[in-house]
Amino acid sequence: MIELNHLTKRYARVPAVNDLSLKVPRGEIFGFIGPNGAGKTTTIKMMAGLIAPTSGTVSIGGVDMARNPEKAKAKIGFIPDRPYLYEKLTGMEFLRFIARIYRVPAETFEAKARENLERFGLSDWAHDLIEAYSHGMRQRLIMASALIHDPEVIIVDEPMVGLDPPAVLLVKRIFRESAEKGVTLFMSTHSLGVAQDVCHRIGIIHRGRLIATGTLDQLRARIRAKDADLERVFMALTVPNTDAAPEGP
Ligand SMILES: Nc1ncnc2c1ncn2[C@@H]1O[C@H](COP(=O)(O)OP(=O)(O)O)[C@@H](O)[C@H]1O
Ligand SMILES: [Mg+2]
Last residue of a domain, one of 101, 127, 150: 150
Of 100, 133, 150, which residue is a domain's last?
150
Mutate to test the pocket of ligand 1, among 7, 8, 11 (most ligand atoms within 8 A of CB): 11
Residues 110 and 185 in one domain: no
99 and 109 in contact (C-beta within 8 Å)?
yes
In the listed set 105, 122, 150, which residue is the last one of a domain according to the structure? 150
Q: What pLDDT does residue 163 have?
A: 85
Question: Which residues have C-beta under 5 Å from ligand 2, the single-atom ion?
Answer: 40-41
Same structural domain for residues 9 and 55? yes
Same domain, 58 and 156: yes
Q: What is the CATH number of the domain that holds 238?
A: 3.40.50.300
What is the model's pLDDT at position 241?
A: 63
Same domain for 242 and 206: yes
Same domain, 115 and 235: no
Whether the Cβ atoms of residue 236 and residue 244 lie closer than 8 Å to each other: yes
DSSP class per residue in 105-144: -HHHHHHHHHHHHHHTT-GGGTTSBGGG--HHHHHHHHHH
Ramachandran sector of residue 143 (left: φ over 0; alpha: ψ -120 to 50; beta: rest): alpha
Residues 241, 181 share a domain = yes
Number of domains present in the structure of the chain: 2
Of all atoms in ligand 1, which is nearest to the CA of residue 81?
Answer: 21
Phi first, then psi: what are they for 10, rounded to 5°?
A: -115, 120
Tell me which residue range forms the domain holding 131.
Answer: 84-150
The answer to whether residues 36 and 91 belong to one domain is no
**For residue 17, which atom of ligand 1 is closest to its CA?**
14
Are 221 and 122 found together in one domain?
A: no
- Considering only CA atoms, which residue is closest to atom 16 of ligand 1? 39
One domain, residues 100 and 161: no
Instruction: Among 17, 42, 81, name the best residue to mutate to test ligand 1's pocket (greatest count of ligand atoms within 8 A of Cβ).
Output: 42
**What does each of the 249 residues of the chain score in pLDDT, given as a tens digit?**
999 999 999 998 889 999 999 999 999 999 999 999 999 999 999 999 999 999 999 999 999 999 999 999 999 999 998 888 999 999 999 999 999 999 999 999 999 999 999 999 999 999 999 999 998 899 999 999 999 999 999 999 988 887 888 888 999 999 999 999 999 999 999 889 899 999 999 999 999 999 999 999 999 998 888 888 999 999 999 887 665 545 555
Judged on CB neighbours under 10 Å (0-12, 13-18, 19+), 197 is middle
Give the pLDDT score at 82: 83
CB of 238 sitting under 6 A from ligand 1 = no
